[in-house]
Structure 1
Amino acid sequence: MDDDYLSPFGFSIRKALDEMKHNDVYVSSFSEKPDLLSQWRGYCPPGRGICIGFSRDVLEEYCRENNFDLKKCVYSEAEQNSEMKKLIRKCQAEFPMPTASRTEYDKFESNDRVKHELDYRQYVMNGEGKILADSALRNLCDSINKLAPLFKDNGFHEESEWRIIAENPTCKINFRAGSSHLIPYITLPILQFSKDAIREVIVGPNPSKQNCVSSVSMLLESNGFKNAKVKQSKIPFKSW
């Protein structure tokens, strides 16, 4: 926006971002860390936590067949900025450039620079360059829509989160009660998709670990998940 030579490009991006339509996005979250104290504390009822370890191969196959994405979250601000800069550079490469080169522009007097900016803006917004400009901006917005669900604040980096991302799903939308509003969600029948989906189950800090391990093992076997291993958390944490 501060570069007068390319300011119509910057203005076009700002306008496209203000007007862009956001996808209807649903995510299912997983973690690389199978036995992490902060996860037991943050996401499980005291003394009743269970960690389900899924097969990555099965998840990837399920996502391919259902047109979903399985990707790792990006926590680093530097990496987030780098990813966004890649999208901007790609958009700039697709966007129609001014007829005058940068070298020619630098030689212009003030009046000619103003005329250049006005002509360039007219060219990309209403003139012959509009079709290419709109296509480049549309591709940028589509790419941002796909990237946005992967960006998380660095304060959550310990979770090492991966997400299954479903954009604009056509399946049935369900609702559950949240603390302040209804929360829409979709179901992913991964367990029906493959009996190899579950590789292991970790029983979290629990006052009756052996009984819990036994009952979880029975549940898995009775539902056909015979290859899943059940074990106890190694963290000596008490919340009861």
Structure 2
Amino acid sequence: MSAIDKYFYDPTFPLYHYTSISALEGIASNRTVWASHIYYLNDSAELIHAREVLREMLETKILIDGAENSQNDFAICFEDWLRNLFSSKPHNIFVFSMSQEQSLLSQWRSYTPHGKGVSVAFTPSRVATIATTNEFRLGQCIYDTASHHALLGALIVELRSRFECAEPATSENYNIHFEKYVSDILQVLSLIKHKAFEEEKEWRLISSLLPDASQKIDFRQGEGAAMLVPYTKLELGNDDWIFDNVTVGPTPHEALASSALLGFLHKHKVCRAVGSGNLPFRKW
């Protein structure tokens, strides 16, 4: 087990994905969900923030350790490589987000269309199966500074321990090393979020680096910006009753919405139970 593996693990409780009624229709019919390219998400700035926290840690280490040791050379080269990490074309890392919270007002507002939202519950075993089947890693997002430093410190230690090269420890060889493990680096950075989002209690299924020409990458229309958003499909399995339950978000006709939704879910054999988010409908 590596130093960073402990940050990727399966939950012991259900996780909830907030989405629209129309998206749920597609999920139920196709038995897939979409993992979006992390660079195109609303939270994409978090990656840059995480990178800067890591760079600050490396710069501090350089100043403390001095210039006459291999660990310092490693830190200097890693900091330099990170500076250019997002300057070229985007690395293909995809995430599918879930929350520990079944019905949270900020989630309804941020991730569902007004009056047309649902949260879909996945059991712990279902989430683990999705991760394994699709070769994704599952981790809980972390929000406080101390935990950020602990995770990024573990990443530094892990990358340093993996560096084995018959050639001298040159900048070129270090860069080759960092490129080799860029997928692991981005997966770790994807777990770091600002404390302002702590109430979301987010978990993420995170892909490994997908090649540019991968047939697994599709495109959908973005929200707001004039661009397409790359995504990849996660297979949910072909067995029946793949969701634990579905919660109806704030809507003006909750009873009617719940009744029709339950009939649809039973028809497609994806979920047996529909519940209420217990939040009043308001014009947000």
Q: Normalising by structure 1, what TM-score?
A: 0.74
Aligned to 1:35: 103
Residue 90 (structure 1) aligned to one of 142, 147, 158: 158
Equivalent residues in 2 for 1:196-235, closer than 5 Å = 196-225=241-270, 227-235=271-279
Deviation of residue 160 (structure 1)?
A: 0.8
Residue 51 (structure 1) aligned to one of 106, 119, 122: 119
Identity within the alignment, %: 24
Q: Does 1:145 align with 2:190?
A: no
Q: Does 1:14 align with 2:79?
A: yes
Q: Secondary structure at the match of 2:103?
A: coil
Aligned to 2:94: 26
Distance in 2, matches of 1:18 and 1:199, equals 43
Report 1 or 2 for greater relative contact order, CA contacts < 8 Å, sequence distance ≥ 6: 1
Distance in 2, matches of 1:33 and 1:216, equals 21
Q: Compared with structure 1, are the counterparts of its residues 15 and 218 closer, same or farther at alpha carbon in structure 2 (3 Å cutoff)?
A: same
Give deviations 1:99-128, integer Å, cap 9, x for gaps. xxxxxxxxxxxxxxxxxxxxxxx94218xx
The one-letter amino acid paired with 2:273 is K
Residue 173 (structure 1) aligned to one of 218, 226, 241: 218
Aligned to 1:5: 68
Distance in 1, matches of 2:274 and 2:243, equals 10
The one-letter amino acid paired with 1:87 is L
Q: Secondary structure at the match of 2:98?
A: strand
Aligned residue pairs total 209
Q: Secondary structure at the match of 2:109?
A: helix
Q: Pairwise CA RMSD of aligned residues?
A: 2.8
Q: Normalising by structure 2, what TM-score?
A: 0.64
User: What are structure 1's unaligned runs of at least 5 residues?
Assistant: 97-121
Distance in 1, matches of 2:208 and 2:93, equals 5
CA contact (8 A) 1:59 1:197 kept: no
User: What are structure 2's unaligned runs of at least 5 residues?
Assistant: 1-61
Q: Which structure has the larger Rg over C-alpha atoms? A: 1
Deviation of residue 155 (structure 1)?
A: 0.8
